[in-house]
Amino acid sequence: MSLNAYFKKTKGRDAVIKILQSEDAPVDAAHIYEHLVKKHVSINQATLYRILDFFTDQGMIDRFEFQEGKQRFEIVRGDHHHLICEMCGCIEDIEDCNIKDLEKDITKKKKFLVKRHSLEFYGVCQSCQR
């Protein structure tokens, strides 16, 4: 790889991670791409997807699919879940629900060793209820 290509790659990765760090809910690739354009980071969509794959493999970002027909990405920030509004499509983080207790309960009652879970809440957000 040429030095120029190397710097471009590093710059792209840095920019993607910074964008994801500034978000407080999972965002799609198009959203990330818009930010890259605003920051004048010139990478193409294929490179963006490679960067997202790279960070997902590294365990630095999480990849989600919320029945929207597209993927969303979020910086790994511990155990939490998402609230998805079926009216406007907004997504919000929710911390501290008692899933860990439920996991222990399942293991105890069903003798099933829970290793991971996937849980989203679908409904109507506060502003869509007005």
Q: Which residues in this chain contact Zn ion in the complex, by CB under 5 A?
A: 74, 85, 87-88, 90, 93, 125, 128
Q: Which is nearer to Zn ion, 33 or 74 (CB)?
A: 74
Residue 124 CB, nearest approach to Zn ion (Å): 6
Strands 71-75 and 27-28 turn out to be antiparallel
In the chain, the amino acid numbered 64 is F
Residue 58 CB, nearest approach to Zn ion (Å): 18
Residue 99: Cβ within 10 Å count: 14
Strands 61-65 and 81-85 turn out to be unpaired
**Cα 122 to Cα 103: distance, rounded to the nearest angstrom:** 21
Residue 76 CB, nearest approach to Zn ion (Å): 9
Q: Which is nearer to Zn ion, 119 or 128 (CB)?
A: 128
Q: Which is nearer to Zn ion, 99 or 125 (CB)?
A: 125
